[in-house]
Structure formats: structure tokens, C-alpha cells
Amino acid sequence: MKLLVTGGAGFIGSCFVRMALQKRWAEQVVNLDKLTYAGNLENLQPIAGHSGYRFVELDICDSSGVENLFRCEMPDAVIHFAAESHVDRSIHSPAPVITTNLNGTFTLLEAARRNQISRFIHVSTDEVYGSIEPPQEANEKFPLRASSPYSASKAGSDLLALSYYTTYKLNISVTRASNNYGPYQFPEKLIPLMISNALEEKPLPVYGDGQQVRDWLYVEDHCNAIRAVLEKGRAGQIYNIGGNCSLPNLEVIRRILKATGKPESLITRVTDRPGHDRRYALTNEKLTRETGWQPQMRFDDGLASTIDWYERNRDWVQRVKSGEYRHFYELNYANRAE
């Protein structure tokens, strides 16, 4: 099996590449990544010398580069992770989000169609369902109600991907996962940001009242689910992937402070995110029924091992927090205190 993974230098993609080679899901993995601010080859250090691994620095919007790569490599399957993935960045600056998430996905789908690639997994998000009223949980038939430029771009790319099944019979499945956490996550997202700020005893910026609810999925559980869809998922189908762990943000932050032994006085209320979705909730029932997959990691265990990783990898954190990160932090958090 030869896999072509897009966005394999990012948080989830790099976890998938490491697992695919270490667990022998595939003999060969080609990692196509543009290395944006979120792409980091350090994430691939554990498999960098693997004989079946190849890295290609490329923009998924570069149609001739993508076409050449597909023609040369002829992968058995494409796992498409590459995206601009942060909601706050999509609010400050929507253009790269639209370009990569929509045009980039289109470029890959066209290359897959022209080269008759036999399997394509489009990795998407539960954010496409928008805010869900309790006690409901979104299944795959829920309407799309995207709130941010990020979630709208993902909803659009989901529809485009599914159209390639309907029209061209491309063997494509779409996965929609909830909030991931784990090692190597860029510290712009809630859990790694709060862990790294707590470890440095910096303020923990909570948007609004902190009662927004997210479902938390350990990144390795997510990658196992994608593999299950790759092997057993049906063409033209959507599969939700959740961690069965719904928590309000403030509860997550309090658990981080408790686990790191830092005071709750670090919690700082800041102005809410515009268009902020109140609650995400989804059911895994279809994926479990069709593939047997279930999330394995208990949240407190996953959080403890994630905190441990960030404590042991302060150099990694310092390197990614230098340069561009500081500009983003200033842009997103300055003048926001309530």
C-alpha cells in the first residue's frame, strides 16, 4: 500500500504518517505539505529515516505540481488533511482559508480523477454542522450550518468531494471529526495554548463565559478511525468521528490548571470570538456500526499524557512560539481583555 498524505507535517497529519509507518499500515507514505506556519518537519523526526517515507514540499493549489506528483507516485490512496485549520485565523484573514481549503481540495480531486486514484479520504470537521442545541447530537444527515469562514470552507470542500463520487464515481469518503488534542498540536488551539501558557504562568484567555461545549478526541483515536474508514468505509459516505467526551471549555481549562498545579487566578476572561458556536455534539454510531471503531483514550489520561509531552518538549514549544506566532498572538489577543 502506498499512501499520499497531504498536510502530513501538521498536527493530525504527522500523527497519521508516524502511525502509518510505525504500525505498518502502509509500506510507503508520500507526504505532500506546503510547510505553512503550521507545518513542522520536527513532527516527523521519529520516522524521518524510514525507507518508505518521502517528503515533498508543495502547495495543494499548484495544479501542475500536484498532477506531476500524482502521475509519478500513483498512490493507492490519498488521505487529505492539508488545510488552514484555525477558526480565529480564518476570522482575521479568510483569503488563505478559502484558497487552500476550497481551491486546494479541488486541485487534489481533479488530479485524483485524472489519474484514476482508487481511494480518497477527505478529512473534515464537525464544525460544518454548526452549533447543536442540547440534547441533540449531529449525525451525518444533519444540515450544514457553518458559522466561520473556516467551517464554511470545509463544508464547501465536503460537498465538492462528494460531488466527485456522484458525478465521476471517485471512491471517496468524507470524515468529520470533533476537536482533537494530543502531542505536537500547534499552541494556537485551546488545549495546547492553555497548557503552554499555564506552564509559563501566563494568563489563560477564555472567550466569553467559557461555557461553550466541545467534544474532545485524542489524535491517535482520530487516526485509527481514518484508517478504519480507509479500509472499511463505503464510497460516497460521510463518517462522524467523536471522542464521546463533551466538556465546557472552562472545565477543560480547570483540569489543565489542576494537572499542572497552577492557580485558577491565571484564568482571564476576554472578548468572545465573533460568530462563536456554542456547542458541538456528534454521534459516532455509523462509524462504529460499520467498522467497529471506538475511541479508546479516556480524556483525563489523554490530557495527562499531552501535558507530560508539552513539559518534556519545551524546546519544540519555544521554537514554534517564536516569530510568526508572536504576531498572531498580538493580533488575536491584544485589546481583548474584558
Q: Pick the catalytic residue from 33, 73, 84, 126.
A: 126
Exactly one of 21, 60, 78, 87 binds ligand DAU (CB under 6 A); that residue is 87
* Distances, alpha carbon 197 to alpha carbons 174, 256, 311, in Å: 34, 10, 11
- 3-class secondary-structure state, position 61: coil
Length of the chain: 338
Closer residue to ligand DAU, CB minimum distance, 189 or 202: 189
In whole angstroms, the minimum distance from the beta carbon of 207 to ligand DAU comes to 4
Binding residues for ligand DAU restricted to 179-198, rule: CB under 6 A: 179, 189-190, 193
Show the cell assigned to 213: 461545549
Q: Is the dihedral of CA 252, 253, 258, 259 positive or negative?
A: positive
Q: Tell me which of ligand NAD, ligand DAU, none is bound by residue 214, counting a contact when its beta carbon lies within the kind-specific cut-off of 5 to 8 angstroms.
A: ligand DAU
Closer residue to ligand NAD, CB minimum distance, 125 or 196: 125
Residue 228 contacts residue 291 (beta carbons within 8 Å): yes
208: left (phi over 0), alpha (psi -120 to 50) or beta: left
**Near ligand NAD by CB under 6 A, which window of 2-10, 105-113, 278-286, 311-319?**
2-10
Give the residue carrying C-alpha cell 504576531: 327
Helices (H), 233-337: 249-260, 285-291, 299-312, 314-320, 324-333
d(CA 301, CA 182) in angstroms, rounded, equals 11
Closer residue to ligand NAD, CB minimum distance, 206 or 282: 282
d(CA 119, CA 3) in angstroms, rounded, equals 10
In whole angstroms, the minimum distance from the beta carbon of 117 to ligand NAD comes to 17
Build a one-symbol-per-residue string for 222-261: x at contacts with ligand DAU by CB under 6 A, - elsewhere.
Answer: ---------------------------x------------
Closer residue to ligand NAD, CB minimum distance, 158 or 205: 158
Q: Report the interface residues with ligand DAU, using CB under 6 A.
A: 85-87, 125-127, 178-179, 189-190, 193, 205-207, 212, 214, 249, 273, 280
Active site (catalytic) residues: 126-127, 150
